[in-house]
Structure 1
Amino acid sequence: MKDKKLRSAEWFGRTGKDGFIYRSWMKNQGIPAHEFKGKPVIGICNTWSELTPCNAHFRELAESVKHGIYEAGGFPVEFPVMSLGETLIKPTAMLYRNLVSMDAEESIRANPLDGVVLLCGCDKTTPALIMGACSVDIPTIVVSGGAMLTGKYQGRDIATSDVWRFSEAERAGRMSEDEMNIAEACMSRSRGHCAVMGTASTMAVMAEALGLTLPDNAAIPAADSRRKVLAHLSGMRIVDMVKEDLKLSDVLTRQAFDNAIVTNAAIGGSTNFIIHLLAIAGRIGVELSIDDFNTSALGIPLLANLQPSGKYFMEDLYYAGGIPAVMKELDKFLYRDTITVNGKPMADNYKTAECYNRDVIASVETPFNKLAGISVLKGNICEHGAVIKPSAATPGLMKHAGRAVVFENIDDYKSRLDDPDLDIDETCVMVLKNVGPKGYPGMPEVGNMNIPKKLLEKGVHDMVRLSDGRMSGTGFGTVVLHVSPEASAGGTIAVLKDGDMISLDVFKGTLNVDLSDTEIAERKKQLTAPTDWATRGYVYLYQQHVEQAHLGADLDFLKGGSGSEIHKDSH
């Protein structure tokens, strides 16, 4: 135990006018005087919002956290930050991830908090809150909201990944609008985030593999009563973390990041994992580069048979043993002694885990797929990198050369995709420009472009697709993403033209266009600066300061932790 004065004592422990003000106004909520006497004050950072359906049950979850804090002798205070609902917010939730991180950071630093519980679930709320908390660096624990129950439609299981299949079936005339409406109601049948290994579940796994949660956090379904139990226990644990002064910087070592990369490979996690983990590393001050995602995950096979890379769902993963069972399989690849928020080394969190269904969690010796993780590509199209998810790609397209069919921006893509005169066949490479961090702005999840209707009608279900944008973690296909530098920053993708020959070789980690350096340079001379950037507000700030995808797309002035120093008094 470290003997350290409580941070909240700088507020509630004062005498005279300042102490009077800090305590008196809090007492108007019916709080008795003894709550201010030496108890750790624990903030519950809540991303509840009815505009964020994934997190709509968080008021209830926060109550379970409060019960745990009270039981352990702490004083809970719940506070809101901006929430991001992936399915509703325009133009893309990613535009506002950094804004939410700033909201969380300043809310934590400016208030009398000794520790904080982060309630997060929907895709961007998890990395945003972790990034903000990293910049303050006080004792912190993460509680995820959990995945929804698996959908049921016409006698079979469905979930978010089926949205893409249903969409193509409707466009090809194989599914009616009435059938779509029925499936819509069948899919989202309980509280929680997407039921597949999409970005939300990937972020929950990331938090657990980093050591920021109690064991089993990632896989317990949102509707399962054990999710509330975990929240209660997390509330209890954060009080002890304050007493021990166990901070984020103690947990988030370079080895912890490697553990997360290895685990993400084994579960077939979202490509968004890279951009968020890089941003978190930048906030806590850990050196991590996009190339590390190739080296740290080298030789890690796919163990979790989950959509979109496999067959099953998050609910099934929990019943099969959850992330502790997966990490136990990965034991020889992990840094076993990294400290976690429960004060124990990582290996202690999975040493008693059991796998109860080998069709859901495979062994390292007999994996579901030897291709796993997220492959980082380099080449003259992507000098600073691009990414692809091999486990969700078509094996026959992993090495492919084809003629480029180029869409200059999202509007060009939407207007021409289903034009019967579009000059395209299944051997072509679809290219979408100007959907990167600066160019859209916000880097939307449009990289897994729809297959043109005339090719769908021929039975084509996958093509090589290339963009400077992102893809939903629920998506799949041979899709190259996060091309850096992006088109709006003058990257080579900006000068690609119809008919250019593009070569992809995932096995060699390369992505190139068959153009000389001289030709590329000549084309770049013809580029003009964008004229449609924002001129005011947060979007202006974002476009002026956002870094490229290979750096995590954070704002450049937010890199590096700035500590928990209290702002100057105003009284």
Structure 2
Amino acid sequence: MARRSDNVTKGIERAPGRSLFYAMGYTKEELERPLIGVVSAHSDIVPGHADLDKVTEAVKAGVRMAGGTPIMVPSIGVCDGIAMGHIGMKYSLPSRELIADSVETMANAHQFDGLVLVPNCDKIVPGMLMGALRLDIPTVVCSGGPMMAGLVNGEETSLSKMFEAVGARKAGLIDDAGLLEFEQNVCPGCGSCSGMYTANSMNCLCEAIGIALPGNGTIPAVTGRRMMLAKHAGMAVMEMVEKNITARQIVNERSIRNALTCDMALGCSTNTVLHLLAIAHEAGVELDLKMFNEVSEKTPNLCHLAPAGPTHMNDLDQAGGIPAVMAELAKGGLLDTAVMTVNGKTLGENIEGKKIRNDAIRTLDHPFMEAGGLAVLWGNIAQEGCVVKQSAVAPEMLQHTGPARVYDGEEEAIADIYAGKINPGDVVVIRYEGPKGGPGMREMLNPTSALAGMNLDKSVALITDGRFSGASRGASIGHACPEAAMGGNIGLVEEGDIIEIDIPNKSVNAKVSEEEFQDRRAKFVPHEPKIRHGWLYRYSKMVAPANQGAVMLED
């Protein structure tokens, strides 16, 4: 059977290319085997990526054991925690597109027969998968695994508590010594930060889709099991190459719906909405925001990991991981168990006999919530939708009415929050932070964590056309669409307007008449993009709205 790599290794005409392989020390025997790209996000700037050199070597060992030739190529990756709260965060979501483009570029330019993707954090996971779906070649995702939970004052903790500790320090609830205690203990080592934040959400959902092996989402980074998983990922891609099983055969309408169901059961990050929309786009699958609510209404929320609750990824792993969650969902007929996965087995075969082993996972008859972890809201300040992690909202904030406190950017808002100028009952509105207006759709973890740290998360709501970290909790409503920079009504809200939020009934509205909005629109002049040079400016011109996954428009 002809291989893609024949285009670079076979025939008289390819002798110059072979000479370049030989210059790197590849042997004739290696060039006669399938060439497998191992895309590694290893770097010295992201805790989740610091150990990916070891994971990458384990993947390469698995490829060799199964008769292939592994070839490592690099990927960039932004650490959202380090980039948070300054211009760096503008690059985080857009970097997803660069990563997808680079995977497409390297795999097509060098004609790899298959790919093993070795990401771990936030935008890197969906970015790599998006690139692989464009190529539609045999692909396995193998993440680096989650960080262990930290320990502060005898309690398990994680990065979300670190950001909240800043708010507590600003409010005088802890002192400098207390802040330092958090700094030095919340993140004990390598791995993706230990709550159900965006990185772990996407690694779990890759497992639910079937494009990653069982255990991908929850096996801790520091364990031998993670290295074993990586070797098996290398072996698995070789079997896919042999059987010509490609990425789009795994990632399809049925498996994406399974991922949506697991998303709701797990209580994943709101960023999964953006990423699943983008992944579906690259897979040629129709997906819209209405389907998120449709699935959420049928799917109980079975997990309350940080920031929604006190458990962490190591607890979920010990409870049986994603296979145990899916086995429980399957009992209620909520999953399509006939879909194929990258280990050659169906989903049903992978979860057969899996059981819940501790209370980090609840059963269908005793869920945390009858509905799923995420909800999409609509209203006159989000006519095309907005998203909230309802599983992380205090019960008293599921319905809230209060005056708007309006800010044209995160910096203005955080300054007032830190200065104690936000009052119980307020609704903080942060705009011009969308994909175009930011540009780059920054995460708002600093404002949400400051409110939580100041004990305002049960009395103050926040709505933005930007987005939130998976570590955010409270009545934090993001992705308001259309965004202010595109003329959305969120840009017309004025200080003191009364905002009504009703999460159970999926609505968010300003008590402003349509006639008043029309009057305001007649005088409205959208702000110019905050960055007018470099690739972020190009991104602002080409990016689709949040309700389409903030993908790059091709036309």
Within a 5 Å distance, the mapping from 1:68-107 to structure 2 comes to: 68-89=62-83, 90-92=88-90, 93-107=92-106
1:563 maps to which residue? none
1:28 maps to which residue? 23
More helix by share: 2
Q: Tell me the secondary structure at the aligned position of residue 135 of structure 2.
A: coil
How high is the sequence identity, in percent, across the aligned residues? 33
Q: In structure 2, how many angstroms separate the alpha carbons of the residues matched to 1:283 and 1:393? A: 32
Equivalent of residue 513 in structure 1, options 475, 490, 510? 510
Q: Which amino acid aligns with 1:438?
A: K
Q: In structure 2, how many angstroms separate the alpha carbons of the residues matched to 1:526 and 1:108? A: 50
Cα 1:124/1:460, change in 2 over 3 Å: closer
2:470 maps to which residue? 473
1:121 maps to which residue? 120
Within a 5 Å distance, the mapping from 1:53-452 to structure 2 comes to: 53-89=47-83, 90-92=88-90, 93-331=92-330, 332-357=333-358, 359-419=359-419, 422=421, 424-446=422-444, 449-450=447-448
Q: In structure 2, how many angstroms separate the alpha carbons of the residues matched to 1:308 and 1:447? A: 12
Q: In structure 1, how many angstroms separate the alpha carbons of the residues matched to 2:314 and 2:456? A: 32
Select between 366-375 and 217-226 the one with higher mean Cα deviation. 366-375
Q: In structure 1, how many angstroms separate the alpha carbons of the residues matched to 2:369 and 2:532? A: 48
Cα 1:451/1:126, change in 2 over 3 Å: closer
Shift in Å, 1:411:
3.0
8 A contact 1:140–1:248 mirrored in 2: yes
Select between 497-506 and 325-334 the one with higher mean Cα deviation. 497-506
Q: Which runs of 5+ in 1 are unaligned?
A: 559-571
8 A contact 2:168–2:454 mirrored in 1: no
Shift in Å, 1:447:
6.3
Q: In structure 1, how many angstroms separate the alpha carbons of the residues matched to 2:138 and 2:459? A: 46
Cα 1:369/1:537, change in 2 over 3 Å: same
Select between 403-412 and 323-332 the one with higher mean Cα deviation. 403-412
Cα 1:50/1:251, change in 2 over 3 Å: same
8 A contact 1:451–1:463 mirrored in 2: no
Cα 1:479/1:529, change in 2 over 3 Å: closer
Q: What does the per-residue CA deviation read over 1:36-92, in whole Å, with 9 as the maximum and x for residues that have no partner?
A: 12x111000011111222111111111100111111000110011222222234133
Q: Tell me the secondary structure at the aligned position of residue 298 of structure 1.
A: helix
Q: In structure 2, how many angstroms separate the alpha carbons of the residues matched to 1:405 and 1:181? A: 32
Q: Which runs of 5+ in 2 are unaligned?
A: none
Q: What does the per-residue CA deviation read over 1:9-33, in whole Å, with 9 as the maximum and x for residues that have no partner?
A: 1110121xx3211111111222221
Q: In structure 2, how many angstroms separate the alpha carbons of the residues matched to 1:222 and 1:382? A: 39
1:496 maps to which residue? 493
Q: Tell me the secondary structure at the aligned position of residue 81 of structure 2.
A: coil
Q: Tell me the secondary structure at the aligned position of residue 184 of structure 2.
A: helix
Q: What does the per-residue CA deviation read over 1:212-236, in whole Å, with 9 as the maximum and x for residues that have no partner?
A: 0111111000001100000000101
8 A contact 1:82–1:103 mirrored in 2: no
Cα 1:155/1:416, change in 2 over 3 Å: closer
Cα 1:371/1:196, change in 2 over 3 Å: same
Cα 1:74/1:154, change in 2 over 3 Å: same
Shift in Å, 1:150:
1.3
Cα 1:380/1:413, change in 2 over 3 Å: same
Q: Tell me the secondary structure at the aligned position of residue 97 of structure 2.
A: helix
Shift in Å, 1:493:
0.3
Q: Which amino acid aligns with 1:96?
A: S
Q: What does the per-residue CA deviation read over 1:363-406, in whole Å, with 9 as the maximum and x for residues that have no partner?
A: 10111233432100111110110011111001111112211111
Shift in Å, 1:164:
3.3
Shift in Å, 1:168:
2.3
Q: Which amino acid aligns with 1:11?
A: V
Q: Which amino acid aligns with 2:275?
A: H
State the number of aligned residues.
548
Q: What does the per-residue CA deviation read over 1:233-279, in whole Å, with 9 as the maximum and x for residues that have no partner?
A: 01011011011111111111111111001001111100000000001
Shift in Å, 1:533:
4.7
Q: What does the per-residue CA deviation read over 1:485-518, in whole Å, with 9 as the maximum and x for residues that have no partner?
A: 1111110000100111111111111111111212
8 A contact 1:451–1:462 mirrored in 2: no
Q: In structure 1, how many angstroms separate the alpha carbons of the residues matched to 2:529 and 2:240? A: 48
Q: Tell me the secondary structure at the aligned position of residue 449 of structure 1.
A: helix
Select between 214-223 and 510-519 the one with higher mean Cα deviation. 510-519
8 A contact 2:167–2:418 mirrored in 1: no
Q: In structure 2, how many angstroms separate the alpha carbons of the residues matched to 1:447 and 1:182? A: 20
Cα 1:58/1:412, change in 2 over 3 Å: same
Q: In structure 2, how many angstroms separate the alpha carbons of the residues matched to 1:251 and 1:330? A: 20
1:566 maps to which residue? none
Q: Tell me the secondary structure at the aligned position of residue 306 of structure 1.
A: coil
Shift in Å, 1:412:
2.2
**Quick check: 1:14 aligned with 2:8?**
no
TM-score by length of 1: 0.93
8 A contact 2:466–2:480 mirrored in 1: yes
8 A contact 2:401–2:498 mirrored in 1: yes
Q: What does the per-residue CA deviation read over 1:447-503, in whole Å, with 9 as the maximum and x for residues that have no partner?
A: 6725888x9778775411111111110111011111001111110000100111111
Shift in Å, 1:349:
1.1
2:41 maps to which residue? 47
Q: Which amino acid aligns with 1:280?
A: I
Q: In structure 1, how many angstroms separate the alpha carbons of the residues matched to 2:449 and 2:336? A: 42
Q: Which amino acid aligns with 1:386?
A: C
Q: In structure 2, how many angstroms separate the alpha carbons of the residues matched to 1:70 and 1:456? A: 50
Q: In structure 2, how many angstroms separate the alpha carbons of the residues matched to 1:417 and 1:401? A: 19
8 A contact 1:394–1:477 mirrored in 2: yes
Shift in Å, 1:149:
1.1
Shift in Å, 1:341:
1.2
CA RMSD of aligned residues (A): 1.8
Shift in Å, 1:299:
2.6
8 A contact 1:447–1:481 mirrored in 2: no
8 A contact 1:199–1:272 mirrored in 2: yes
TM-score by length of 2: 0.95
Q: In structure 2, how many angstroms separate the alpha carbons of the residues matched to 1:56 and 1:234? A: 20
